[in-house]
Amino acid sequence: MRKVFYLIILIGLGGLAWIRLAPSDPAVWHVDPKVTADQDLTSGVRRRVPAEDGDFLRLNGLILATPRTEVLAGSVDEGFVTYVTRSMWMGFPDYTTVREEDGVLEIWARLRFGSDDMGVNRARVDGWLAALRRD
Protein backbone atom coordinates (compact mmCIF):
# COMPACT_ATOMS: atom_id res chain seq x y z
CA MET A 1 0.00 0.00 0.00
CA ARG A 2 2.80 2.36 0.86
CA LYS A 3 4.50 1.70 -2.48
CA VAL A 4 1.33 2.65 -4.33
CA PHE A 5 1.16 5.90 -2.39
CA TYR A 6 4.77 6.77 -3.27
CA LEU A 7 4.17 5.82 -6.89
CA ILE A 8 1.19 8.18 -7.07
CA ILE A 9 3.27 10.97 -5.51
CA LEU A 10 6.11 10.31 -7.97
CA ILE A 11 3.74 10.37 -10.96
CA GLY A 12 2.19 13.63 -9.72
CA LEU A 13 5.59 15.27 -9.28
CA GLY A 14 6.64 14.05 -12.72
CA GLY A 15 3.54 15.62 -14.25
CA LEU A 16 4.24 18.93 -12.53
CA ALA A 17 7.86 18.84 -13.70
CA TRP A 18 6.70 18.16 -17.27
CA ILE A 19 4.35 21.16 -17.20
CA ARG A 20 7.12 23.45 -15.98
CA LEU A 21 9.96 22.06 -18.09
CA ALA A 22 8.27 20.98 -21.32
CA PRO A 23 10.01 22.57 -24.30
CA SER A 24 8.13 25.17 -26.34
CA ASP A 25 8.65 24.39 -30.02
CA PRO A 26 8.41 27.57 -32.12
CA ALA A 27 7.36 25.46 -35.11
CA VAL A 28 4.20 24.53 -33.19
CA TRP A 29 3.41 27.79 -31.37
CA HIS A 30 4.79 30.59 -33.58
CA VAL A 31 2.09 30.37 -36.24
CA ASP A 32 -0.07 32.88 -38.11
CA PRO A 33 -2.94 33.83 -35.76
CA LYS A 34 -5.41 34.15 -38.68
CA VAL A 35 -7.74 36.36 -36.64
CA THR A 36 -10.78 37.38 -38.68
CA ALA A 37 -12.89 38.64 -35.74
CA ASP A 38 -12.81 38.97 -31.97
CA GLN A 39 -13.50 35.63 -30.30
CA ASP A 40 -13.67 34.53 -26.67
CA LEU A 41 -12.78 30.84 -26.61
CA THR A 42 -12.65 28.37 -23.75
CA SER A 43 -8.97 27.83 -24.52
CA GLY A 44 -8.06 31.49 -25.08
CA VAL A 45 -8.97 34.61 -26.99
CA ARG A 46 -8.56 36.21 -30.42
CA ARG A 47 -8.55 39.96 -30.92
CA ARG A 48 -8.35 42.07 -34.06
CA VAL A 49 -7.72 45.76 -33.40
CA PRO A 50 -6.83 48.73 -35.61
CA ALA A 51 -3.18 49.74 -35.15
CA GLU A 52 -1.61 53.16 -35.32
CA ASP A 53 2.09 53.74 -35.93
CA GLY A 54 4.07 52.47 -32.97
CA ASP A 55 1.23 50.43 -31.43
CA PHE A 56 3.00 47.11 -31.93
CA LEU A 57 6.18 48.42 -30.30
CA ARG A 58 4.22 49.81 -27.32
CA LEU A 59 2.21 46.59 -27.02
CA ASN A 60 5.45 44.61 -27.09
CA GLY A 61 6.69 46.67 -24.12
CA LEU A 62 3.46 46.04 -22.20
CA ILE A 63 3.62 42.32 -22.89
CA LEU A 64 7.27 42.01 -21.88
CA ALA A 65 6.54 43.95 -18.66
CA THR A 66 4.11 41.17 -17.71
CA PRO A 67 5.68 38.90 -15.06
CA ARG A 68 7.04 35.54 -16.26
CA THR A 69 6.72 36.54 -19.94
CA GLU A 70 9.36 36.16 -22.63
CA VAL A 71 9.63 36.06 -26.41
CA LEU A 72 9.46 32.56 -27.87
CA ALA A 73 10.04 33.58 -31.50
CA GLY A 74 9.84 36.51 -33.89
CA SER A 75 10.31 40.23 -33.42
CA VAL A 76 8.46 43.52 -33.72
CA ASP A 77 10.64 44.34 -36.75
CA GLU A 78 9.27 41.21 -38.45
CA GLY A 79 5.74 42.24 -37.48
CA PHE A 80 5.18 38.83 -35.92
CA VAL A 81 6.01 37.73 -32.33
CA THR A 82 5.00 34.83 -30.10
CA TYR A 83 5.34 35.20 -26.33
CA VAL A 84 5.19 32.65 -23.51
CA THR A 85 3.63 33.68 -20.19
CA ARG A 86 3.83 31.18 -17.33
CA SER A 87 1.49 31.01 -14.34
CA MET A 88 3.06 31.85 -11.00
CA TRP A 89 2.70 28.65 -9.01
CA MET A 90 2.50 25.81 -11.49
CA GLY A 91 4.33 27.35 -14.43
CA PHE A 92 1.58 26.56 -16.93
CA PRO A 93 2.56 28.13 -20.28
CA ASP A 94 0.18 30.33 -22.26
CA TYR A 95 1.19 31.43 -25.75
CA THR A 96 0.29 34.80 -27.26
CA THR A 97 0.98 35.48 -30.92
CA VAL A 98 0.77 39.03 -32.25
CA ARG A 99 0.94 39.93 -35.91
CA GLU A 100 0.67 43.38 -37.44
CA GLU A 101 -0.61 43.44 -40.97
CA ASP A 102 -2.29 46.16 -43.04
CA GLY A 103 -2.78 48.47 -40.04
CA VAL A 104 -4.34 45.77 -37.87
CA LEU A 105 -2.99 43.91 -34.84
CA GLU A 106 -4.05 40.27 -34.77
CA ILE A 107 -3.68 38.73 -31.31
CA TRP A 108 -4.20 35.08 -30.45
CA ALA A 109 -3.64 33.98 -26.85
CA ARG A 110 -4.13 30.34 -25.89
CA LEU A 111 -3.28 27.74 -23.33
CA ARG A 112 -1.10 24.70 -23.84
CA PHE A 113 -2.33 22.28 -21.21
CA GLY A 114 -5.99 21.64 -20.45
CA SER A 115 -9.13 22.74 -22.25
CA ASP A 116 -10.36 25.79 -20.29
CA ASP A 117 -8.17 28.72 -19.28
CA MET A 118 -10.95 30.19 -17.07
CA GLY A 119 -10.67 33.57 -18.82
CA VAL A 120 -7.02 34.15 -17.93
CA ASN A 121 -5.91 34.87 -21.50
CA ARG A 122 -8.90 37.11 -22.19
CA ALA A 123 -8.20 39.17 -19.06
CA ARG A 124 -4.50 39.44 -19.89
CA VAL A 125 -5.01 40.48 -23.53
CA ASP A 126 -7.86 42.88 -22.78
CA GLY A 127 -5.70 44.43 -20.03
CA TRP A 128 -2.83 44.94 -22.48
CA LEU A 129 -5.17 46.53 -25.02
CA ALA A 130 -6.75 48.82 -22.41
CA ALA A 131 -3.27 49.95 -21.30
CA LEU A 132 -2.26 50.47 -24.94
CA ARG A 133 -5.22 52.79 -25.51
CA ARG A 134 -4.49 54.77 -22.31
CA ASP A 135 -0.93 55.58 -23.45
Please give the domain boundaries of the chain with CATH numbers for all domains.
25-134 (3.30.310)
Dihedral sign from CA coordinates of 60, 45, 69, 67: positive
pTM score, whole prediction? 0.88
User: 13-38 burial, b for 16+ CB within 10 Å, e for fewer?
Assistant: eeeeeebeeeebeeeebbeebebeee
Mean pLDDT per 10-residue section of the chain, whose length is 135 residues: 83 74 90 94 96 95 97 97 92 95 96 91 97 87
